């Protein structure tokens, strides 16, 4: 059953001055997501609306936005789960806006210690014994680099030098499973003023994470590791 839903969408172009909100009525289905509606608007109402998306199933991490003020992936944020009424869509906070809902992700990559981790092969055991069921297969590689944890973080909002939750969760993941890597530089990186100790434990990152990385818990574990002398266990 097709109905219409109102949207307030953040618009910005570097050429045409200050940002604004445009209002659209979009045709939606009961199962439609925020991304479905944004794509419908782009196809049927305004082809100049710039949005990021790729996989459409919470795997690539490109479509992070703020919906009614809360961080989420547009592709899995269902309209039916939102409060009734007009839906406000804004780009992620704490990133420079390129245009409309598209942010510049360069700073996300810059926060990580070198060498950047994210393409290391996921650990898949050759024989699938599942001691604790499938939950046991949670891996850092679950991070989809969407940036929502940085958008939600109250410390990043006031201090851009803070490395932020994604990179710290990565550091903790490396300590959990170094695979031969020298963890000394990672511990020193994490112990710096702008790293593990800068977190205020608001846990907004874990709330925002769409991929079950739980950065806040990992930051707490990382602090325990740093105070215990760094054996990572």
Partner 1 sequence: MTRAAHDAHVLIIGGGGTGGALAHDLALRGLRVTLVERGEFTSGTTGRHHGLLHSGARYAVNDHESAVECIEENRLLRKIAPGSFEENDGLFVAITDEDMAYLPGFLEGCAASDIPAEQLTPEQALRLEPMLNPELKAAVRVPDATMDAMRMPLRFFATAKRNGASLLNYMEVMGLLMHDGVVSGAGIHDHVTGRDAEIHADLTVNATGPWSEKVALMAGVDVPIRPSPGVMLALRGRLCNMVINRLHASGDGDIVVPQRGLSIVGTSSWVVEDPEDLGVPQDHVERMVTEGSKLIPAVATAPHRAAWSAARPLIGSRGEADSGRELSRTFKTIDHAAEGGAEGFVTITGGKGTTLRGMAEVCADVVCRKLGVDEVCRTRETVLLPHIAYFAA
Q: Quick one: which segment of 57-65, 155-163, 194-202, 221-229 binds partner 1 (CB under 8 A)? A: 57-65
- Rg of the chain over CA atoms, in angstroms? 20
Closest CA relative to residue 67, chosen from 168, 184, 151: 151
Q: Quick one: which segment of 52-60, 82-90, 173-181, 196-204 binds partner 1 (CB under 8 A)? A: 52-60
- Parallel, antiparallel, or unpaired for β 64-67 and 87-90? antiparallel
Q: Quick one: which segment of 18-26, 54-62, 85-93, 219-227 binds partner 1 (CB under 8 A)? A: 54-62
* Tokens at 196, concatenated: 């593990």
Pick the binder of partner 1 from 54, 158, 161, 228 (CB under 8 A): 54
Q: Would you put residue 116 in left (φ > 0), alpha (ψ -120 to 50) or beta?
A: beta
Answer whether 151's CB lies under 8 Å from 208's CB. Answer: yes
Contact between 16 and partner 1 by CB under 8 A: the answer reads yes
Contact between 127 and partner 1 by CB under 8 A: the answer reads yes
Contact between 82 and partner 1 by CB under 8 A: the answer reads no
Contact between 4 and partner 1 by CB under 8 A: the answer reads no
d(CA 28, CA 21): 20
d(CA 72, CA 140): 19
Please measure the distance between the N-terminal and C-terminal CA atoms of the chain and give it in whole angstroms: 53
Contact between 206 and partner 1 by CB under 8 A: the answer reads no
Residues of this chain that bind partner 1 (CB under 8 A): 13-16, 31, 33, 39-40, 43-44, 47-48, 50-60, 62, 75-76, 98-99, 102, 105-106, 108-110, 112, 116, 118-122, 124-125, 127-128, 130, 134-135, 137-139, 141-142, 144-145, 211-212
């Amino acid at each position: 059953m097709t109905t219409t839903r109102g949207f307030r969408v953040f618009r910005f172009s570097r050429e045409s001055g200050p940002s604004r909100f445009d209002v659209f009525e979009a045709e939606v289905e009961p199962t439609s997501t925020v991304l479905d509606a944004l794509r419908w608007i782009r196809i049927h109402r305004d082809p100049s609306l710039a949005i990021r998306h790729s996989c459409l199933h919470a795997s690539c991490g490109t479509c992070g936005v703020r919906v009614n003020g809360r961080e989420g992936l547009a592709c899995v944020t269902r309209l039916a789960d939102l409060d009734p009424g007009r839906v406000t869509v804004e780009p992620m906070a704490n990133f420079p806006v390129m245009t409309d809902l598209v942010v510049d992700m360069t700073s996300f990559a810059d926060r990580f210690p070198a060498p950047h981790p994210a393409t290391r092969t996921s650990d898949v055991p050759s024989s699938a014994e599942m001691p604790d069921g499938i939950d046991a297969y949670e891996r850092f590689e679950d991070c989809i680099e969407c940036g929502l944890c940085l958008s939600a973080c109250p410390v990043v909002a006031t201090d851009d030098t803070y490395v932020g939750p994604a990179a710290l969760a990565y550091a903790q993941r490396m300590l959990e499973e170094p695979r031969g890597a020298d963890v000394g530089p990672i511990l020193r990186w994490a112990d710096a003023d702008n790293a593990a100790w800068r977190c205020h434990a608001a846990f907004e990152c874990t709330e925002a994470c769409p991929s079950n990385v739980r950065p806040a818990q990992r930051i707490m574990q990382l602090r325990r590791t740093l105070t215990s002398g760094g054996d990572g266990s």
